[in-house]
Structures are given as C-alpha cells and as structure tokens.
Amino acid sequence: MGLLGKDSKLISDPLADNNPITIQVLGICSALAITAELKASIVMSISVIFVMGAGNVVISLIRNIIPSKIRIIVQLTVVAALVIIVDQVLKAYSYSLSKELGAFIGLIITNCIIMGRFEAFALANGVWRSFLDGIGNAIGYGVILIIVGFFRELLGSGTLLGYAVLGDPIEKTGLYSIGYENNGFMLLAPMALIVVGLIIWVQRSRNISLIED
C-alpha cells in the first residue's frame, strides 16, 4: 500500500471498526428499503461508491469557500446535482441499466452517510484523503448492504441474484422436498433491521472494545 501509506486506514477502518452502518448507524433507511434482493444491494452499493467518492472530492475542493451558515444546503446541492448527472447520463447512454436502477438513484440523495461524511470529513480534509474516506465508507456501507441482501433474498425468496438456489417452492424440489419453506417475513423491512442487529451483535462480541456503556 505504498501509494496510500497511512491513509490506507481511511479505507480499512470503515470496513471494520468504524463501519458506517453498524458503528456510526448511518444509512439505515436504505439498508432497510432495498435489501430484499441481493442484486439491488449490489447496484446500490456501486452507485453510492461513485457518488460518495465524487461528492467528497467536490466538497473538499470547495471547503475553504463554503459559507458555514449554508454549508448543509451546499452539500445537499452537490449530492443532488451529482445524482441527477448520473441519472441523466445513464438514461441517455445506458437506458436498460438506468431502468434497473430506477428508484435507487433518487434514493442516494437521501442517504445520510453521504451528508454525514461531507460534514464530518470532507469539510476539514484534503482532496485525496477525502476521496479515500468517501470510497472507504461507501464500501463499508456496501458490504453490510450485500450481507443483509444475501440473507434476505436467500431466506425470503430462496433465490440469489434471481437464481433458484434452494429448488422450486411450488413444485417442491430441492430443499423444499424435505419440508423447507421460505420465510416471507424476511422480505419485509423489519427483518432487515433484525439482520443488521445480528451483524452488530456478532461484530461487537468479536471486538469488545466497540461496546459502549
């Protein structure tokens, strides 16, 4: 990691002990909303990596000229503009992909991780470090999203990325032939919260220093 040096912590920390979802408890809303299937989780993760990286760079570039009174509005404008640019360019040059992403692109604006990192990091740090922080946090967010999406789709629908990995629930093949049933509750938002809770539990029991009093 010669290029990154000590900055490599900016990428690695959010993946583990400073994860935006499980430790900072940011981005819960989208973690609930779109993790009913794995594919949506992956797509959302990639989109957020892009917007976070680019947004942190823009905010860091203009951090010395942003009036502090309206900095939140400025941050919001930057995210919204980036999201619209992504949306429009995809619609023009990759229409089928933009159909797949659909509502997610708009949802990125509401993702509190983005505003959180602008406010907490990009406003006070240089461009390169902000870029790494953005990417790191977006990956940390994406990892949790993908874990939740994996379990919700597998246990809720019996599929992964749309492929029936457990057999056919109606024809009763594969695992279903021995009486296994999909848990429809996994498809609903509350189960996302419970899965996130389980991840938080596992993480904190492995690293006791994360537990607050």
Structure tokens that stand for 158 in this block: 């019996």
Using rule CB under 8 A, residue 61 touches other proteins? no
- DSSP class of residue 107? H
Q: Is 118 within 8 Å of 56 (Cβ atoms)?
A: yes
Distance CA 148, CA 206 (A): 19
User: Could you say which of 1, 17, 46, 77 contacts other proteins (CB under 8 A)?
Assistant: 77
Task: Report, in Å, the least distance between residue 180 CB and other proteins.
Answer: 16
Burial of 89 (0-12, 13-18, 19+ CB in 10 A): exposed
Using rule CB under 8 A, residue 66 touches other proteins? yes
Q: Is 21 within 8 Å of 27 (Cβ atoms)?
A: yes
Using rule CB under 8 A, residue 85 touches other proteins? yes
Using rule CB under 8 A, residue 89 touches other proteins? yes
CA 25 to each of CA 11, 64, 113, 137: distance values in angstroms, whole numbers, following the listed order: 18, 28, 9, 12
Using rule CB under 8 A, residue 6 touches other proteins? no
Task: Report, in Å, the least distance between residue 97 CB and other proteins.
Answer: 11
Residue 20, SS3 per DSSP: coil
Residue closer to other proteins (CB basis): 123 or 139: 123
Residue closer to other proteins (CB basis): 102 or 197: 102
Instruction: Using CB under 8 A, list all residues that contact other proteins.
Output: 33-37, 39-40, 64-70, 73-74, 77, 81, 84-85, 88-89, 91-93, 95, 99, 102-104, 106, 152-153, 156-157, 162, 170, 184, 187-188
